[in-house]
Chains A and B, each alone.
Chain A
């Protein structure tokens, strides 16, 4: 399987070489590589947390169960929700793309897919996921729902009036 370099040489295979060493291009190239190597040598990796070693060991041994699944807090809603279709999702405030609270909706959607969570209060049923009951009450009322199943303070399933 050893082929000589001479066995195949395309037409374009030409080498544009520098005529003499110690010319400006030669020094320029050397300086460029010196700079790149200095950059590589000075590069640092971010620090690691000590528990990462343990987590990697568990992961590689197939023990995926020790990693808490994002959105697993929404598992309590599952028995009361349809497997498919769409439900609305009521949070402390209305949906706004730049509001940090919106991450609750994203996390719930990721956990409950393929059920679709609608950020708008238009579906027949809604997941109520507010921080406390005193916020949930007005939110349910204003969105035109009534609480059907209470699961915790500020949390439950609501249905359209």
Chain B
């Protein structure tokens, strides 16, 4: 258990120190909440990159190299963290930490909703942790994809480092050999740290990503709307059944949801504050989305497109350094995208989609092959978004929020809330297009994947909904 604890602690510490170094002197709002939400996933992403690099450098000694590099990174970043100069502009401490004079009844009353909503969030979180631990014990090896794809790749890493390239063998054509390796990488890193294939590590990693999704939503909504909205938004996320279910099954879709959500929300923070280091962090998190699943690459392509449009608009408005955000975002995404490119084009070039075999001509022919397929796909989206027991009306809130956003009078040029809406729409548009070119049976493909695909944009849809439908107070 102590090894399990240290694996969890050191990966989180690495993420915290790396983010802390990147956000040095940056007045990011509700800083502590951001670190609570982003440290573990960022650490997991960095650990997986370190592990992957170690296997590329020297497979026979990859395990010790990965551990030494991880410890070295922690030591260097720790030194940087300890000796860094004090912030010139210390960020404000949280309002709920600052003492309130007990005689000030009005102030106390104003804090009451935030305190009550925090209690609701905390109660829900504790209840879910209890439920998760019991459910995960019943299904310790996770669902089908976890057992046969994600953990399988981790086993190739861990069991025989010199044979690790076997995971990309075309003979395993059914095992998504071209899929990126963040999730298998962090599983194998933890096993390497502990020295054995711990059964507890995969569900713990999955839980870490799930809880982090809730915390990152709390961070964003509390920073840009209000504390009450933050805690209630986080609570609403926790009661959404699909996220809980797929995290218990240990699928990589929940980690992908985290990275997409975190990338989108930090992008909003970066656009609103124009802080270049937040663009870099957003790029890193977006890059990790691509390093988690192919869908993440599609996501970051959409974000590049949107950011490119925003930068072009800045250029037309004669903004100073109009394309700087795009460059900084790209810089942050560089390493994960490099790892993604190595897997996609050099190691696992046997996939189903573009970049792994079929040509653009093949796909364009499938894309425009009649309206029947399009209607089937759209009907499927509608059918999978509607069930209340699954989504608790999230997609209804999203549509209502879009309407409110469209008709509301006070709009600010620094608001950028439309970017969140566009990202959600584009993510799902990408999936609609992907279903058109699927090499599988369409109905089978929809039935086995659509529920999970909807997870990816759900976090951002929730943030947009809560931000737009909270009409009374809005911090910009």
Contacts and interface: CB of A to CB of B under 8 A. Distances in A.
Interface of A: 1-5, 7-8, 10, 12-18, 25-26, 28-29, 32-33, 35-37, 39-40, 43, 45-46, 48-49, 51-53, 55-56, 59-60, 62, 64, 67, 69-70, 83-84, 86, 95, 97-98, 102-103, 105-107, 109-110, 113-114, 116-120
B239 A5 contact: no
A48 B244 CA distance: 14
Nearest to B394: A39
A40 B137 CA distance: 25
A32 B469 contact: yes
Contact of B160 (A2, A48, A52, A114): A114
B171 interface: yes
B199 A59 contact: yes
A8 B89 contact: yes
A113 to B, nearest CB: 4
Given A29-B471, A33-B232, A48-B134, A3 B152 contact: no
Interface stretch (B91-99, B252-260, B363-371): B91-99
Given A7-B89, A64-B199, A56 B175 contact: no
Interface of B: 1, 27, 89-93, 95, 98, 120, 124, 127-128, 131, 133-135, 137-138, 140-141, 144, 147-148, 151-152, 155-156, 159-160, 163-164, 166, 169, 171-175, 198-200, 228, 232, 235-236, 239, 272-273, 392-393, 397, 410, 412, 414, 440-441, 444, 469-476
Contact of A67 (B92, B169, B199, B239): B199
Contact of A10 (B138, B160, B273, B410): B273
Contacts of B273: 10, 12
A107 B174 CA distance: 13
A60 B203 CA distance: 12
B27 A10 contact: yes
B92 A3 contact: yes
Contacts of A114: 155-156, 159-160, 163-164, 166
Nearest to B388: A39
Nearest to A118: B171
Contacts of A84: 160, 163, 166
Contacts of B475: 13-16
B135 A8 contact: no
B148 A8 contact: no
A25 B134 contact: no
A15 B138 CA distance: 49
A37 B231 CA distance: 11
